[in-house]
Structure 1
């Protein structure tokens, strides 16, 4: 099979890019030919035999123009190489040509009307640009999805968002993202590496903390009612309001802001629970990474990956704004070490069903189903 992947990046350090990296890697391991139409590509894929047609937009800012140029150039390339490939797999609005499969990682039409989006921006100019960017992408995405024979949603919430835009149910399938079961594995790491206390339970929070979307403010408020718990926060603190908020709430002595980190796998092994009640998340790979690490998860229904969190391995809050419910969930885990251990064991079992190999296999089954479909 000759597979063409169309996406901005095929790299491990990017959520969508990592999914495509794994698809390319598994396809090459199976002996398939892989063509990458992308801006950035991991060198090891080229060493394994992938072919790369680089699309590097001349315009980098504003991002809206970068997206438009990227799609214009990929579409021109696809018209040239269409006869060379068996499967053409795009990701969102990256292609303005008919194709077999499109993976939806984010639905801009849903984000356009989200109250969370409105709270993310400040200032009239920024607000106007963000609205324009989201509105344009919502329109462009719909065009792209309708040119695909099939659309794969990365979570059930994304599938619901796609159906709400008018796509027929038979046009949309769900393929959850995967996780590296070797990198993210159970174990124990000494906390002294990060200056974290060893003598009390440790919760970990990972996400962007320069705005309120990830909901660290509610976590900090809930922390006041869980006095035995220490919280480690991974996220860029430059311009973040949350260190000051922790101080005002009187919990600063129990919160360690670690900045941006590339050793989250080790931090998860040093933690007793993972807390992530984000206000809006189409999937959140880090939730699956926590499960794979054998760490109980406290999250919210507004997180796409929450559908993987069963009562045996974590707690899913109906409302991410409910600080009282969040504090109760954290306190139940802090006060019951055997419960944390049982949940951790079950978390790993759940994650085993969602490794990268299982995700890739689900996509290969779709490829086989679509291989004989005409996309002209």
Structure 2
């Protein structure tokens, strides 16, 4: 029987890499497949997560990345060597495992934001990550690579020129039971908590990297959509302070509501009418699927999974990364009649229902079994499974 090991800094319910690994873990187990995990905690480190300042947040993340990429790699190899019959999926940092799941390309993200050379050299961890991943994709560390979208698979070749392991495209999924439309009472309660009127159109922005994800464009877009309130979820205190200052400069401070970090985005999505994501780069943008599953249309740039699932005029809009088109689409959605708006919500939900985690996990298991079949009979998988280069 196929056995799975998942390697990630953390594996827990929620969004992001940790949430993806957790969702896969649950589906593997539901399919009767034994699965283990190797996290930073299993490697002996408690990940630091200070969010009082932007600098502190970046410093903590940098330390976590370097530690799990180096010390974590050595310990992960020992862990896998004791499980030579397991197939391992690595999500971020560790240079070991049969399959590496590419949750994003640092160099592609930096290029999309502009001033690439300066962004790279001003942060030594960026240079460390670029070198690490060049070794990862050009070398023999992994047997296969998973890209979350076809666009991301193409970017791998553009960035590295040659990717030695074969690349398989498997998009992320969504928990369509957890992420689902709420009722009117829940919507009203969340809005009361946030001080937002029931009849106001709410555009929600969710993310911790305000600059890359384009919060400044969403705030500026409010000038073209006077009936819309922007609900901002995530960010450190410093990031929120700077975004608030921009809202005052633009003249819309009363229409920007900062919810801060929330462990569960579902109530906020259910209280919203549209997700706005004018991002410069996304490997997948799981939040797009989560919003659609909650019946929330999406206004997004052509990044990540959005071009594959957002259909203009049906479940959202794809826009250029400029404030004016974002604002025009928000204003258009704001002007919808209630019956028409409900039809948009139904189409958004129907889109997400086609991308359950069960189907995604089945594709990962198919990949795992193909790797098992490649192993020579009687040969221990110890060296390759442990990520030896």
* TM-score normalised by L of structure 2: 0.82
Counterpart in 1 of 2:133?
A: 138
2:99/2:143 contact within 8 Å kept: yes
Q: 1:167 to 1:23 in 2, by over 3 A?
A: farther
Between the two proteins, the alignment pairs up a number of residues equal to 352
CA distance in 1, matches of 2:115, 2:345: 33
Counterpart in 1 of 2:72?
A: 70
Counterpart in 2 of 1:106?
A: 104
Counterpart in 1 of 2:170?
A: 175
Deviates more, 1:17-26 or 1:106-115: 106-115
Structure 1 residue 335 and structure 2 residue 330: aligned? no
Counterpart in 1 of 2:52?
A: none
Q: 1:182 to 1:22 in 2, by over 3 A?
A: same
Q: Secondary structure at the match of 1:81?
A: coil
Counterpart in 2 of 1:51?
A: none
Q: Deviations over 1:311-351 (max 9, x none)?
A: 2100011x21x211111111111111344322211111110
1:224/1:251 contact within 8 Å kept: yes
Q: 1:73 to 1:22 in 2, by over 3 A?
A: same
CA distance in 1, matches of 2:230, 2:212: 18
Q: Deviations over 1:26-55 (max 9, x none)?
A: 222222222222224xxxxxxxxxxxxx21
CA distance in 2, matches of 1:134, 1:168: 16
Q: More helix per residue: 1 or 2?
A: 2
1:59/1:69 contact within 8 Å kept: no
Aligned residue runs from structure 1 range 234-273, under 5 A: 234-240=233-239, 241-273=242-274
Aligned residue runs from structure 1 range 1-376, under 5 A: 1-13=2-14, 15-40=16-41, 54-57=42-45, 62-66=63-67, 67-82=69-84, 84-85=85-86, 87-96=87-96, 99-111=97-109, 113-116=111-114, 118=116, 127-143=122-138, 146-164=140-158, 165-167=160-162, 171-187=166-182, 188=184, 189-190=187-188, 191-208=191-208, 211-240=210-239, 241-311=242-312, 312-317=314-319, 319-320=320-321, 322-337=322-337, 338-374=339-375, 376=384
1:116/1:280 contact within 8 Å kept: no
CA distance in 2, matches of 1:58, 1:255: 35
Q: More strand per residue: 1 or 2?
A: 1
2:137/2:165 contact within 8 Å kept: no
Quick one: higher RCO (CA 8 Å, sep 6+), 1 or 2?
A: 2
Q: Deviations over 1:176-219 (max 9, x none)?
A: 1111111111133112122211122111111125x411111111
Q: 1:166 to 1:198 in 2, by over 3 A?
A: same
CA distance in 2, matches of 1:200, 1:350: 25
Note the residue ranges of structure 2 that are not aligned, 5 or more in a row: 49-59, 376-380, 385-389
Q: Secondary structure at the match of 1:31?
A: coil
RMSD of Structure 2 on Structure 1 (CA): 2.6
Note the residue ranges of structure 1 that are not aligned, 5 or more in a row: 41-53
